[in-house]
Amino acid sequence: MDLTLWTYEGPPHVGAMRIAASMRGVHYVLHAPQGDTYADLLFTMIERRGQRPPVTYTTFQARDLGGDTAELVKRHVREAVERFQPDALLVGESCTAELIQDQPGALASGMGLGLPIVSLELPAYSKKENWGAAETLYQLVRGLLRQQPADPASHNPQAWKEQQRRPRVNLLGPSLLGFRCRDDVVEIRKLLDRHGIEVSVVMPLDASVRDVMRLPEADVNVCLYPEIAESTCNWLERTFGQPCTRTVPIGIGATSDFLTELHTLLGLEPPDANEGARQSRLPWYSESVDSTYLTGKRVFIFGDGTHVLAAARIASQELGFKVVGLGTYSREMARPVRAKAKELGLEALISDDYLAVEAAMAEVVPELVLGTQMERHSAKRLGIPCAVISTPMHVQDVPARYSPQMGWEGANVIFDTWVHPLMMGLEEHLIGMFRHDFEFVDGHQSHLGHLGGLQAAQPEPLTADLATTNDSELQANTTLSWTADGEAELKKIPFFVRGKVRRNTETFAREQGRQHIDSETLYDAKAHFSA
């Protein structure tokens, strides 16, 4: 039993709903009590969907438990099939129904309904939403394609050449309640079209049952969101021999790698390595002189696996930031995130406790947070600018404008979204120049005013630097104090770096065994850290 105050992911049956609601002609009968119908609002309110998710809840009550809940399931299955006339039916249960073991999937299969029925077993007490979505997609694809003849050895991803047609691929993984999936699909279609590659089926978003049947016709599968589509891609590879791309095209480097990977699989000449620099503004904007101030910005990254891996690469290699924290709530993606963190000299935080994430954030005192909506709130409390890069979805994450994360336009969107919360280089310079003018209000930040009360009102936390000091005995015995002269000198430093200078100076003083920090200590520390 674990205490949870807030959760990044819903239960696994919500993942199943995401698959059903993304598709056309698929209905989901969910054996669940009435309260579970709350999940509809995730689609109708957060995504502003104008249709109800295609879900029939059995809404059994306590008084039904003594009687025949199996009959209740059958009645709802029958009514749902009559009313909605789906092309395929998903049948499953939520956490409570799992306990009463009616096996709704088996019941529905025995009703002779004459349509494909996929029985879902999603263990609600050990798994979560993304796992449930992945499992549902996998069970649905497998269930519908099981009868198709398959010979994995005979699949040739370059057969398009002989057949004198364009190469074609499936895009797997985009779904409702996935981060910017709607726009990513448009962007990836554009990208592939530019290279003469046809998109056959997008799955699950807007896919029909007929589309599922056409999945094996593609030369290669593109796995866009491994959390949702990896198991399905693996099964398609094993069963039909279709290879699958593993690079998620978020960021310039990754999009370029993705194109190379896909072209190689299809037997095409890989595109020009400079395509990104021509098609996206991110590379030049990042090189331009105003961006010099981005150098070494300390960034803390937390979210789902796919987006934090991409963010870590973009931050460190394309924007010149320094990644000071990296973590995910996606346990299924813990391994690659750990590896990425190690590569950056960090230890990954794998946790679904938002308070632990906030504590980790506070400890490393980043200058920018890339996280979920929850990290946005935590960062706000800590007075740190933040950009949202990952689910869980919030109504703000479904913008009216075109706003992909993937491909060349996605890189443009990312540049703007991550850099705007920070102060622009020229502004930073000007504020430094004019800060002694009487008009200047200390704590001013030009456009977003992100600095919360904490930074101004409270002394800087010392914890981050304590951790980096090796001599623990020294720490324990040394109490630091700032002299008036030291404080005065510190005040001359622009406020937005003052906290950092204070911490560095204190670390230095501790290392040196000094107890009083005067202006000289400050200059010594400055020299020490620039050396």
Partner 1 sequence: MSANLLKETGPREVFCGLTSIVWLHRRMPDAFFLVVGSRTCAHLIQSAAGVMIFAEPRFGTAILSERDLAGLADAHDELKRVVRDLLARRPEIRTLFLVGSCPSEVIKLDLARASEQLNEELQGRVRVVNYSGSGIETTFTQGEDGALSALVPMLPSGTERQLLLVGTLADAVEDRLITLFKRLGIDSIRSFPPRQSTDLPAVGPGTQVLLCQPFLSDTSRRLRDRGAEILNAPYPLGAEGSRRWMEAAAKAWGIDDARISATLDPLMERAALALEPHRQTLAGKRIFLLPESQLELPLARFLQRECGMELVEVGTPYLNRDLMRSELELLPDGTRVMEGQHVEQQLDRVREARPDLVVCGMGLANPLEAEGIPTKWSIELVFSPIHGIDQAGELAELFSRPLHRHQLLAAGRQP
What does the alpha-carbon distance between residue 151 and residue 464 come to, in Å, rounded to a whole number? 57
Can you point out the beta strands (E) in 24-131? 26-31, 55-57, 88-93, 117-119
52 contributes a contact to partner 1 by CB under 8 A: yes
* Catalytic member of 87, 290, 352, 416: 290
- How many other CB atoms sit within 10 Å of the CB of residue 328? 31
172 contributes a contact to partner 1 by CB under 8 A: no
**Shortest Å distance, C-beta 455 to partner 1:** 16
Nearer to partner 1, 290 or 352 (CB): 352
65 contributes a contact to partner 1 by CB under 8 A: yes
Pick the binder of partner 1 from 58, 256, 306, 328 (CB under 8 A): 58
Nearer to partner 1, 4 or 470 (CB): 4
Can you point out the beta strands (E) in 128-233? 168-172, 198-203, 220-223
Pick the binder of partner 1 from 238, 278, 394, 420 (CB under 8 A): 394
- Residue 244 CB partners (closer than 8 Å, separation 6+): 172, 220, 221, 222, 223, 233, 234, 236, 237
Nearer to partner 1, 318 or 358 (CB): 358
Helix (H) or strand (E) holding 61: none
What does the alpha-carbon distance between residue 328 and residue 308 come to, in Å, rounded to a whole number? 7
Site string for partner 1, 463-482 (x = CB under 8 A): --------------------
Nearer to partner 1, 123 or 152 (CB): 123
Tokens of 479: 């109490």
**Shortest Å distance, C-beta 397 to partner 1:** 12
14 contributes a contact to partner 1 by CB under 8 A: yes
Phi, psi of 386 (to 5 degrees): -145, 145
Nearer to partner 1, 76 or 338 (CB): 76
Interface region with partner 1, contact rule CB under 8 A, candidates 33-41, 232-240, 281-289, 433-441: 33-41
3-class secondary structure per residue, 377-402: HHHHHHCCCEEECCCCCCHHHCCCCC
Tokens of 519: 């202006």
How large is the greatest C-alpha to C-alpha distance in the chain, in angstroms?
87
In eight-state DSSP terms, residue 328 is E
For 210, 256, 387, 456, the CA distances from 382, given in Å and listed in that order, are 50, 36, 14, 10
Task: Single out the residue of 105, 109, 259 nearest to residue 190, CA to CA.
Answer: 259
Site string for partner 1, 398-437 (x = CB under 8 A): ----------------------------------------
- Whether the Cβ atoms of residue 131 and residue 332 lie closer than 8 Å to each other: yes
79 contributes a contact to partner 1 by CB under 8 A: yes
Pick the binder of partner 1 from 20, 42, 319, 346 (CB under 8 A): 42
356 contributes a contact to partner 1 by CB under 8 A: no
**Shortest Å distance, C-beta 390 to partner 1:** 14
Nearer to partner 1, 324 or 374 (CB): 374
- Residue 147 CB partners (closer than 8 Å, separation 6+): none
460 contributes a contact to partner 1 by CB under 8 A: no
Nearer to partner 1, 26 or 374 (CB): 374
Active site residue 183: no
- The binding site for partner 1 (CB under 8 A) comprises 1-7, 9-11, 13-14, 33-42, 44-45, 48-52, 56-62, 65, 76, 79, 83, 94-96, 99-100, 123-126, 128, 355, 373-374, 377, 381, 394
